[in-house]
Amino acid sequence: MGKKKTTESVAVRLTAADRTFNVIINTIMGILLFIIALPLWSTITLSFRPADFIGTYIEGMFMAPWNWSFDAYKSLLGNNGFLLAFTNSLKILVYGVAVALLLTIPIAYGLSIKDLRGKKFLTIYIIIPYVFNVGIVPTYILIAKAGLTNNLASVFLPTCISTYNCLIMRSFFEGIPGELRESASIDGCSEFQTLVKIMLPLSKAIIMTIGLYYGVQFWNDYFRPMLYLTKDYLRPLPILLRNILLAAGMNEFVEANAFGNAPVEAIKAASVFMSAIPMVIAYPFIQKYFTKGTLAGSVKG
């Protein structure tokens, strides 16, 4: 009779080198976490600093919460200029992401089709603007000739198609088994129906990831609004924050005094913190798709 083979679970013991490595990695990660968290905590505590605070900058960071003041947030939320700028930025974010995805998804899906005629030409045609930038002046002339100045669309239309995002999404579509598209074609589905009914339900991760990329880009953009939006009622939040920072830095408190009696530094910190709120709220819902979409979209080049 043969001997019975038994399997025993063997616990892996860490060597001294392994433990040293873990200590070093944990220390480095702790230092990086501290470096990242310190400016955030500094901004938060600065936004709650009262006008009558007397002390050093370090003392203000460790001020007791019951001594915090909400004057800066009350001034911002009660100011029509801030609410209008926040609304304009929100419109640019929503419209920009919607238009960008509506244009990026079909292009990426078309480039993922292996037997597409002129595929190499289209790929090169999309990559050329990514490598060679036409410059500010031709772009401004084009926007002006199209009648888009003093229009919120001028902020997101020039950059609503990103070559980088198109290539990532194309790689994701190429990773989906081609048999699904072939079976849909046999069943009589057109390419548009295949994209809507089969590809898009399987592509939530990459759509969320690319949508987040576009959202951060449009929300933080201040250069294009500065060029194309000259009306005060159209200025988005980054322009308002820029004006507050410039006014405070040059001791011209025209913008800052419009927000009440709160300290200028507290208003600046509260503005920066509140401008990050939409991205902070959106990221936890997209986080589960973010890693999957990024990795799956970057496997193929």
C-alpha to C-alpha distances, 232 to 5, 77, 217, 297, 300, nearest whole angstrom: 80, 18, 22, 40, 46
Share of the chain above pLDDT 70, in %: 85
Cα–Cα distance for residue pair 250/272, rounded to 1 Å: 19
Residue type, position 287, single letter: Q
pLDDT of 297 over the 50 cut:
no
Give residue 301's pLDDT: 44
User: DSSP letter at 196?
Assistant: I
Give residue 277's pLDDT: 79
User: DSSP letter at 13?
Assistant: P
Contacts of 55 (CB under 8 A, 6+ apart): 63
Cα–Cα distance for residue pair 62/68, rounded to 1 Å: 11
- DSSP string covering 81-96: HHHHHHHHHHHHHHHH
Band of pLDDT at residue 96, cut at 50, 70 and 90: very high
Give residue 299's pLDDT: 47
pLDDT tens digit string along 204-250?
888 888 888 898 889 888 888 888 988 888 889 888 877 776 765 55
pLDDT tens digit string along 135-186?
788 888 888 888 888 999 888 888 888 888 888 888 888 888 878 777 887 8
Give residue 260's pLDDT: 59
